[in-house]
Amino acid sequence: MERKQGFFSNLKHDFVRGLSPARSRAKSPARTASSMLNLLRFKHKHVPYPEPLVGRSGSLNGETLAPLIEGPDPVVSETEESKRVGSGIGNWMKGHLSRAPSMTSSIMAYKQRSDLRLLIGVMGAPLAPVNVSSVEPMPHLSIKDTPIESSSARYIVQQYTAASGGEKLQSSIKNAYAMGKVKMVASEFETASRVVKNKHGAKAVESGGFVLWQMNPDMWYVELAVGGSKVHAGCNGGLVWRHTPWLGAHTAKGPVRPLRRALQGLDPRTTASMFVDAKCIGEKKINGEDCFILKITADPQTLKARSEGPAEIIRHVLYGFFSQKTGLIIQMEDSHLTRIQTNGGDAVYWETTINSIMDDYRSVDGIMIAHSGRSVVTLFRFGEVAMSHTKTRMEEAWTIEEVAFNVPGLSNDCFIPPADLKTGSVSETSELKLQLGRWKSSN
């Protein structure tokens, strides 16, 4: 009880001061500190293992949050700031946000920025392929007039729901919070004639962390800080928006879709809803475990809504690998293919594949949560002329430090989009082309 109360007092102070997306809506130019920095204070020293804020558990009852503060953050000097900072993962993360560049070469600094933009642009806040609602009840298992691939998939999903805590317990979760740390690296760039591996090894790895808030129905907010930059994105249940330092705040094209990061072992109920209409296409051994393979495909209407101008999204497929031993999802792979053709020229194709492994499942208030994992992202560009393809490989490893459920005081107002949200939507392909073009020019 003391640990929960201590966590909540810190959480209430930090959340009210800056975590909420409402802080991102401040219009005053006097605002100097980001919402992540307000949440995550840093004492300038090395902390090899961040101190936990709460013992990876959840229900916080009996208190409510104070009203959210609107307007800019007060300007605080470094001396004053150093007196207020605490310890824990927040300190570790803010150190990475405020550290001075270790490379003085302008060329290396440009390449480092390009690597970082590509990493957080692609891996920061990708979305799932289809629109699902976690509040809809799970359909009853029926084999009558149902193809064996579909009925088998629903049975596997029901086993997954039971293994991850049960539908009754998961239905009692109204909101959730998670904090973790990540390491990212752009590891390889390949053309038809050569393969360029990252020469800097461990020095090229960008470290940081993220916070994720979720609330029924279908609202979420994520903030990811890596190196010296950050991306934050959110959904108010009606639209998805995203903010990056180079594009500002903009809406995402297409229907509302869940955050893929939440499906990586953090949100069993939404994951089950995602695969409830899947098809079982076979079995495969993953890291020595026999798994069932479930497949879902985005429908043509969703793909059309996500397409823009000359960029047409042809397909988006998601595979889930569910352990036959534990019933839990241990791997997820999705791939989307986009065709771009301008002014009657040759078509160019972009294929983005994200393969994620989930590991270290632990019970948090009865809900099974994956506390670590890794992803490999491959960007494959081909078309135009023969032997002109390029392939970029990126990697991410993450660990989950804190998880809490049913945080008191969290409301719909915490998921309101920024006031400076641009009216025009930006497609995934448009941003990908921009960042990959800059990254290629620096290599």
Question: Which tokens hold the place of 34?
Answer: 């980001």
pLDDT surpassing 90 at residue 75: no
- Chain position carrying tokens 């999802």: 329
| Count of structural domains, the chain | 1
The whole-model pTM stands at 0.74
- For residue 111, the model assigns a pLDDT of 54
Question: Which tokens hold the place of 395?
Answer: 């990697």
Helix H or strand E encompassing 95: helix 89-98
List phi, psi (to 5°) of 369. Answer: -120, 130
Q: Mind listing the pLDDT tens digit for each residue in 266-294? A: 999 999 999 999 999 999 999 999 999 99
Q: Does 102 fall in a domain?
A: no
Residue type for 210, please?
F
End-to-end CA distance of the chain: 53
Q: What percent of the chain has pLDDT over 70?
A: 65
Q: Does 158 fall in a domain?
A: yes
Q: Does 197 fall in a domain?
A: yes
Q: Does 330 fall in a domain?
A: yes
Q: Mind listing the pLDDT tens digit for each residue in 22-61? A: 544 444 333 333 443 344 333 333 333 333 333 344 434 4
Q: Does 52 fall in a domain?
A: no
Q: Does 72 fall in a domain?
A: no
Render 118-134 in DSSP notation, one character per residue: HHHHHHSS-B-SS---T
426 band by pLDDT with thresholds 50, 70 and 90: low
Q: Does 314 fall in a domain?
A: yes
Q: What is the domain range of residue 344?
A: 120-441
> Any idea of the CA torsion for 258, 263, 266, 271, to the nearest 10 degrees?
90
- For residue 54, the model assigns a pLDDT of 37
Q: Mind listing the pLDDT tens digit for each residue in 90-109? A: 444 444 444 444 444 454 45
- For residue 283, the model assigns a pLDDT of 97
Q: What is the DSSP letter of 259?
A: B
Q: Does 230 fall in a domain?
A: yes
Helix H or strand E encompassing 8: helix 2-14
CATH code at position 422: 2.50.20.10
- The residue ranking higher by pLDDT, 119 or 296, is 296
* Measured distance CA(348)–CA(388) in Å, rounded: 10
Out of 36-40, 47-51, 201-205, 254-258, the most confident range is: 254-258
- For residue 85, the model assigns a pLDDT of 36
Q: Mind listing the pLDDT tens digit for each residue in 133-147? A: 777 766 666 666 678
